[in-house]
Chain A
Amino acid sequence: MEKFRTLFQHFQSSSESVMNGICLLLAAVTVKLYSSFDFNCPCLARYNALYGLGLLLTPPLALFLCGLLANRQSVVMVEEWRRPAGQRRKDPGVIRYMCSSVLQRALAAPLVWILLALLDGKCFVCAFSSSVDPEKFLDFANMTPSQVQLFLAKVPCKEDELVRDSPARKAVSRYLRCLSQAIGWSITLLLIVVAFLARCLRPCFDQTVFLQRRYWSNYVDLEQKLFDETCCEHARDFAHRCVLHFFASMQSEMRARGLRRDTAGGSPEPLEGPDGLDGDGSRKAHLRAVSSREQVDRLLSTWYSSKPPLDLVASPGLREGGLNHRAPTVAPGARLSQHTDV
């Protein structure tokens, strides 16, 4: 249990970790999906190639799209790309970095499927059995071409009566499987070498720019999450006060109509109702002076159309005479400088 918990906590510690966790999960799901899928080669002349190649390429495409869907950062990236610049300049380098990290993680599951399919060999045998050169195998010497084609089409189906227990079928099947596994292992080796080189040689190039981009892409993700959480907190407090106000207005309404039966002394003043709660100071702080529908709408529109500058030292007022009623003095140049692209 402790292991499970620490694993969970580790994966939730940063957005990159979360994405890696999702990536691994999707890869595991792919393996399970492949092993539970019932491969069924049609063993007919034109259909074999379509089925084999379709099965090699369609599920990876669907898994790639799933990888993009499951990754929250893809939506964050598109939002960052499409937002109006407002008071915060957009950095195309950060967007490119986010895009490449999202794509790399989304490619993991499709590659797992393709490699599994190649190492297993069934897809390859099904797709290319009709394209084998019969000259390579002595068993076909005394068969007409059409018979050969029919035979080759049925090679992937072990139980078919035409090819059952036939040494020729076994020979062709072994040959194709060997080819498939060779291609599979070559691709695996190539990918690992490329990944290794990319990882080792990256510090030789623009390391500082890379660090900056990584930082800001992480920042953008965290900022969006925190904003959502803050909105949730705010909604909760807003709702709480709204409900209590409602009860209080009912009370004052009754007093106005003279219907309220006076209970023993010490019953609270209606206007103090919400204020008599414990921790109300903290609740007021949560509301942050945003306490009406128009103000909330304005806050949300401004968050989208004009994100605040990345400068905590300068005066925090929004240029559009926002909601905290402080004189906005943010100069356009006073932003945390991000190095220009090399």
Chain B
Amino acid sequence: MDKFRMIFQFLQSNQESFMNGICGIMALASAQMYSAFDFNCPCLPGYNAAYSAGILLAPPLVLFLLGLVLNNNVSMLAEEWKRPPGRRAKDPAVLRYMFCSMAQRALIAPVVWVAVTLLDGKCFLCAFCTAVPVSVLGNGSLAPGLSPPELTRLLARVPCPDIYDGDWLLARDVAVRYLRCISQALGWSFVLLTTLLAFVVRSVRPCFTQAAFLKSKYWSHYIDIERKLFDETCTEHAKAFAKVCIQQFFEAMNHDLELGHAHGALATAPAGSAAPGTADGAEEEREKLRGVTDQGTMNRLLASWHTCKPPLRLGQEEPLMGNGWAGGGPRPPRKEVATYVSRV
């Protein structure tokens, strides 16, 4: 358990580290899933190709979508994309950066699946067993004796050793070795190609858009942190709200009891002793409320957080503008967009 905690701490030390950790786990899970999966070629002429194509393509798609789903930043990207500009202009470069970094990480598990499938060879063997060149690999002279559908039916059984009955035409081992060799060659080429692509993208990027990249990285990180801090502040507020609400309710009940019953002494004594304590607690909680003390105001706050995010400029205490609020002061000049277009 201690080991897990340490690894968790190491991975959570920064955001990137954590995401890389998730990637690594998904890649391992993908390889493990493949080895646990019981491949079962149907060995029938029409079905082989469909089954193999399904096994080669459907799990990677699922893994890609799973990679996106597990990534918290997807909802952040969607939110940032769809929000109204309000007082804060949207930056397409930041959205692109967020999308690219998520897509890159989500692509690792599918790539591992495809690579492992090709390097193993069973899928390829199942798909292309009917396309083996019998004349080159086996007894070519005997092949014309069979009609094409019969030949196809015979060859379709190559992946299944228990039912293959064509050794007189083509030794099963020869066909299997041939197809597996091609499959492994394709697998290694695929691996080489993807690593080359990743290398080029990663190493060539600093040559071009480095300044814009630094900005996009900073602002995407900022958006993530801001969202988390807003959620934390709202939770704090909700707690304080609830506490004050309940305290007020008990105070009101107490007051009603005082009014309704003639036993003033019985009612006032506990109230008197409890008053200083509740007063102090109430003060603290009211401070945490930051002046937002009713449902309507809170709803308005949450709505305006989405529709009209505050500008990225500290040190100005203007009231919120737009959305029909009363407020003075000119709108700040819209200079943000220009600074982003220069280097991309």
A interface, CB within 8 angstroms of B: 1, 4-5, 8, 37-38, 40-44, 47, 50-51, 54-55, 58-59, 61-62, 65-66, 68-69, 74-75, 78-79, 82-83, 157, 159-161, 231-232, 235-236, 238-254, 256-257, 259-261, 263-264, 266-268, 270-271, 273, 276, 287, 291-294, 296-298, 300-301, 303-305
Contacts and interface: CB of A to CB of B under 8 A. Distances in A.
A175 to B, nearest CB: 22
A334 B30 CA distance: 56
Interface stretch (B55-63, B156-164, B283-291): B283-291
Given A62-B188, A79-B210, A244 B286 contact: no
A266 B283 CA distance: 7
30 contacts: A1-B3, A4-B3, A40-B177, A42-B178, A59-B188, A62-B192, A65-B196, A65-B199, A232-B14, A236-B225, A236-B229, A239-B222, A239-B226, A242-B314, A245-B310, A245-B314, A245-B317, A246-B310, A250-B291, A250-B292, A263-B289, A267-B286, A291-B313, A292-B312, A292-B314, A294-B335, A296-B215, A296-B312, A301-B211, A304-B211
B235 interface: no
Given A249-B310, A264-B282, A54 B319 contact: no
B262 interface: no
Contacts, number: 209
A305 B215 CA distance: 13
A98 to B, nearest CB: 13
Which of B180, B192, B195 counts the most A-chain CB atoms under 10 A from its CB? B195
Interface residue SS majority, chain A: helix
B222 A300 contact: no
Given A159-B173, A264-B286, A296 B218 contact: yes
Contacts of B315: 291-292
A67 to B, nearest CB: 10
Contacts of A235: 218, 221-222, 225
A238 B180 contact: no
B116 to A, nearest CB: 10
A243 B230 contact: yes
B189 interface: yes
Which of A5, A51, A276, A300 counts the most B-chain CB atoms under 10 A from its CB? A300
A40 B184 contact: yes
B260 interface: no
Nearest to B226: A239
Interface in B189-211: 189, 191-192, 195-196, 198-199, 202-203, 206-207, 210-211
B75 interface: no
Interface residues of B, number: 75
Given A40-B184, A239-B225, A243-B226, A82 B287 contact: no
B177 A300 contact: no
B103 interface: no
A40 B137 CA distance: 16
Contacts of A250: 291-292, 297, 300-301, 304, 320
Nearest to B311: A293
A79 B6 contact: no
